[in-house]
Structure 1
Amino acid sequence: MNSSVNRCTNSDATCRHISAAIPIWCLQSEGADMGRLKVVVAEKIAKSGIEGLSERYDVVDAVDRQRTELLDLVVDASAIIVRSNTQVDRELIEAAEKLMVIGRAGIGVDNIDLEAATERGVLVVNAPNANTISAAEHTMAMLLAQARRIPEADRSLREGRWDRSTLSGIELHGKTLGVLGLGRIGILVAQRAKAFGMNVVAYDPYVSSERVRHLDVELMDLDDLFAAADMVTIHLPRTPQTENIINKESIKKMKDDVRIVNVARGGLVNEQDLADAVRDGRVGGAAIDVFDSEPSTDSPLIGVTGIVVTPHLGASTREAQDKAGIAVAEAVGAALGGELVLSAVNLDLGPDVSPELMPFVKLAENLGKIFAVFSGGLPDQLVVTSKGALADDPVKPIALAALKGALSVTRDRPVSYVNAPIIARELGVSVVEEAQPEVSDYQSVVRISGTVAGRERTVAGTFMERKGAVLVGVDGYAIEVPLTDHMLLVRNDDVLGCIGRVGTYLADIGSNIADMVVGRAPDGSAAMMGIALDAAISEDETAGLISLDGIHAARYIDLS
C-alpha cells in the first residue's frame, strides 16, 4: 500500500497520520526480500571477513582501484569498507546513492566525512577493539626504544662504531608515567607500565576515580599531570579540544628531561614545538608514530636526535589487521541486516551500552512499528519508557530503536538509526526518554506512548528467555503474545462468537494461527485479540475482517 505522512489539524491535536482508505495497514520490513546487496571492499581486509560477507552479499574487490573507478563502483553499493588510505568524502558518499554503511577496518575515521554520512543517514562503523593490544604494545616498544636509545645504538653499530659508553639510557622502573586518555588503549598501557614498576597517573575528564581504582592509577588535572610525569603518553582522539594538546606552553609545565610518546593520532602534538624543545634539551626525547599529515617524510621531528619515529605502525601487526577486517565485516553485515551496531561512530547511544541490551533494542524497534500502525500515525511527542530492571540501562538506544521503527512505516525514504532523529526533527516529532524502576508482572518492560489524533495510544512489550520478544499490552488491553513475522491485532466487542468468527475467517482464507491471546479493556466494554500468524495475509484479506459482526478494527503488521 502506498502511504504518505500528512500533517492534520483538529481541535484536539496536531498529528502525522498514515493515509489509508480503510483502518488497516500492511507493513513490509525494510529487510525483506531486498536481494543480495553490494559491498565494495576498497582496501585489503582479512580473507575470513570477506568470506563471511560473501555468504549474504555481493562483495566487489576494489583494492588498489583508481579514484574514478571507485566512484563508478559505489554508485549502486550498499556498503563500502576501507582502511585509512581511501578518502570517503562527500563526493564519494553522494555518488553512492544506495549507500547504507561505511566500514572502517580500524579505529580512526579521519578519512571519512562523518557530517556528510550522517546527513545521508549512512551508518559509519569501525573496529574499536581490533588494534588495542597492538597499539598498547607499540606504545611500550616506543617508550623503551626512546628510553634505552635503541635506534641510535642500532644505527651506530651498523655504521661500524662501538659507542657503548655514549649510549646510556634511563630505566622505566620508578618513573611516573602520565597517560592522557584512559580508553581501551590507555588502560592497557597503564597495566603494562605498572608491570614495569612505573607509577601511573592519568588525565581523562570522562572517567571516574571509581572506574580506575582497580588499576592503581591516580586521576589528575592536566596541568598537575604535566608537573608530575617523567614520561607522557597520549591516547586521545583528535578533536578541536585535543589538537596540539602538546605544545610550547604545555611543555613549559612539564619536568625537565620529560619524554613524550604519541601512538594515537596526528595533530595532538605541535611538531615544530616538540622538535625545538628536544633540540634545546628542555625535553629529553620523544617517540612519535603519527603525524599531522601522512604519509610524512618531512616532519620537523624526523632527523632530530633523541626522537624515535615510525610510520604509523601502531596497528600494523598481522593479528590486529586480521581482527580489524573480521570485526568491521561483521559490523557491516549486522548494519545491512538492520541491526543496531554498538560500534557505530556517528550514533550517540549514551555510556556503556551492554550487548545484553540488544534483545530489548530489537523489541523496541518492533514496538515502534506496531505503535505507528495501530495508531495510524505519529504523535508530536513519542514517549519511550524503560521499566523495571531495564531502567538501570541507558534509555537512549531503546528510544532510538523505537523511533526508527515508528518512522519506518510512515516514510517512503529508508529510515536508519542515523537519520531517524533528523527525520523526526523534520516532522516535528520529539522523543522523551523515561526510566521507571517500578513495574508489575514482568522483570523489564518497554512502553511506547503518545497522543495521535487526540487519543492517547500505548504499546508495551518485554523479552523472555523462553518466549523471546512478547507484546504485553496495547491501549490498556493486557495481552501476552509472542512477536512473530506476521502479527494481527483485532479490536472487537466482548461478546460470544467474535473469536470463533475470526478463527473461521482466517481458516477460510488459508491462514493458520500460530498463537492467540485475548485481553479485555479495563472497563470490560471491548476486547482485543493479539494473533501470531504463520504467513502473511493480504490487504484485502485484512479488510475482510472488518465486515465480520462485532469486529471494529484490524491491523496486520509484517515484521519479517
Structure 2
Amino acid sequence: MLITPRSYGLYHPKIYEYWKKEGYEVVRKAGPHSEEDLITYLEGVEVLLVGTDHISKKVIQNAKELKVISKYGVGIDNIDCEAARKCGIEVLNTPGVNTEAVADYAFGLMLSLSRHIARSHFELVQEGTWNKTVGVEIFGKTLGLMGLGSIGAAVAKRAKGFNMNVIAYDPFPNEQLAQELGVTLVSLEDVIRESDIVSMHLPLTKETRYMIDCNRLKKMKKNCLLINTARGGVINELHLYEALRDGEIKGAALDVFEEEPPTNSPLFELDNVILTPHNAAASVEAVQRMTLRSTDNVMAYYESLRKAMAPS
C-alpha cells in the first residue's frame, strides 16, 4: 500500500506497526506528488491512502493492481471517481472527521481578517512601526453561509455566541436543522446581497465551480468579508483579486486555492487578504480521527471481501 498524507500517523506513531502486523507492506511517500510520480509509486500497489494528491484518470488507468482508494479527509474532488468506478476501484472517505477543526479555523479567519490580527503581528509589530489598525466587530453582524452541512452547521453554532444573524444557502436544504440552529434559509443571491461575512462550505462540483465570480462579487456589500475553507475552485481567484484590488469587497481569507500550492498568484500583492496553506483540518484531534478512520476503511473493505468469498 502507498500512503501519501504528510500528517498521517503523526499522533499515532505505532500505526505502521499495526499495518505490518496485519500483513501490509507500506510505502510511505509524503505528497502531494506529480502525476508521473504517482504512476511510478503505484506500480504493484493494491491500496492507496491519499491526501490532496490529484488522482487523475491517467493515474488510475495505470494503477493496474489498485483495488481501493482511502481518502484521508472528506472531499474527494481530487480523485477521478468515475474513472475509479470503471476500473472497479473502491473510493472511501472519512466524513465528519474534521468538522470542528474546520469550523474553528473558519471562525478564526473571520476574527483575524476583521481585526487585522495577522497583519498587525507581521507588519506592525515585527517591523517595529507600532501603528494601531482599526478593524470591525463581527458581533451582531450578518453571517452568510454557503452550505449548511456539518461544517456550515458547526460554524453557525459558533456564530450564535457572537449574537450574529445567520443566514444560509444550501442546494439541498435541511429545514429542521436550520430551525434547530436558528438559521434562516435564503436564496444564494440573498446571501450574496445581505451578508457582512460570507463563508464558503460547499463541495467543489460542476454546479459550484466559480460560484463566486465577478458578477456575484459586485453584488456583495462594500464592507463584506469572504472566507473560504471549502475548495479553491468555488471562487474565481482572478475575479476575487480584481474585486479586492478595486475595493468592491473589503477583504478575503482563503485556506484553499485552485492550484495548490499557489504560485505567482496576484493575491500575493494585496494587504487585505489572509492566505493559509490548506490548514483548516490540521488539528491534533482531526489528524487522529483521519488517521484512524482512513485506516479502518481499508480494513473494513478487505474484511467485506473476505466475508463475500467465504463459503456459505
**Deviation for aligned residue 1:51:** 4.0
1:77 maps to a residue whose letter is: V
Matched, 1:149 2:111: no
TM-score, normalised on structure 2?
0.89
**Deviation for aligned residue 1:153:** 1.0
Paired residues, what number? 304
CA gap 1:136/1:152 in 2 versus in 1, 3 angstroms = same
Q: 1:127 aligns to what? A: 94
* Structure (1/2) with the larger helix percentage: 2
Matched, 1:255 2:217: no
Q: 2:253 aligns to what? A: 287
| Greater C-alpha radius of gyration | 1
Q: 1:78 aligns to what? A: 46
Matched, 1:171 2:140: no
Q: 2:130 aligns to what? A: 162
- 1:70 and 1:89 map into 2 onto residues whose CA distance is 10
- 2:16 and 2:285 map into 1 onto residues whose CA distance is 16
- 1:64 and 1:278 map into 2 onto residues whose CA distance is 35
2:74 maps to a residue whose letter is: I
- 1:302 and 1:57 map into 2 onto residues whose CA distance is 47
**Deviation for aligned residue 1:70:** 5.5
**Deviation for aligned residue 1:203:** 0.4
Contact 2:70 2:92 in 1 (8 A): yes
CA gap 1:73/1:277 in 2 versus in 1, 3 angstroms = closer
Runs (5+) with no aligned partner, structure 2: none
CA gap 1:100/1:282 in 2 versus in 1, 3 angstroms = same
Matched, 1:114 2:89: no
CA gap 1:81/1:219 in 2 versus in 1, 3 angstroms = same
1:115 maps to a residue whose letter is: E
Q: 2:70 aligns to what? A: 103
Q: 1:529 aligns to what? A: none
Match of 2:2 among 40, 50, 67: 40
The DSSP-based 3-state class of the residue aligned with 1:160 is coil
TM-score, normalised on structure 1?
0.51
Q: 2:290 aligns to what? A: 324
Note the alpha carbon deviations across 1:507-536, whole angstroms, 9 max, x for none: xxxxxxxxxxxxxxxxxxxxxxxxxxxxxx
Q: 1:94 aligns to what? A: 61
The DSSP-based 3-state class of the residue aligned with 1:315 is coil
**Deviation for aligned residue 1:132:** 1.6
Q: How does 1:531-550 map to 2 (within 5 A)?
A: none
- 2:97 and 2:42 map into 1 onto residues whose CA distance is 26
Contact 1:106 1:131 in 2 (8 A): yes
**Deviation for aligned residue 1:146:** 0.4
The sequence identity of aligned pairs, in percent, is 35
Q: How does 1:298-447 map to 2 (within 5 A)?
A: 298-338=264-304
Contact 1:52 1:329 in 2 (8 A): no
CA gap 1:223/1:72 in 2 versus in 1, 3 angstroms = closer
1:210 maps to a residue whose letter is: Q
Contact 2:218 2:243 in 1 (8 A): no
CA gap 1:69/1:250 in 2 versus in 1, 3 angstroms = closer
- 2:167 and 2:30 map into 1 onto residues whose CA distance is 44
**Deviation for aligned residue 1:175:** 0.1
**Deviation for aligned residue 1:72:** 5.2
Contact 2:74 2:93 in 1 (8 A): yes
Contact 2:43 2:64 in 1 (8 A): yes
The DSSP-based 3-state class of the residue aligned with 1:186 is helix
**Deviation for aligned residue 1:48:** 4.7
Contact 2:2 2:29 in 1 (8 A): no
Contact 1:182 1:204 in 2 (8 A): yes
Q: 1:213 aligns to what? A: 179
Runs (5+) with no aligned partner, structure 1: 1-38, 340-361, 363-404, 409-484, 486-557
Contact 2:94 2:290 in 1 (8 A): yes
**Deviation for aligned residue 1:110:** 3.3
- 1:69 and 1:152 map into 2 onto residues whose CA distance is 38
Note the alpha carbon deviations across 1:283-312, whole angstroms, 9 max, x for none: 111111111111113222222121111121
The DSSP-based 3-state class of the residue aligned with 1:301 is helix
CA gap 1:77/1:337 in 2 versus in 1, 3 angstroms = farther
* Structure (1/2) with the larger strand percentage: 1
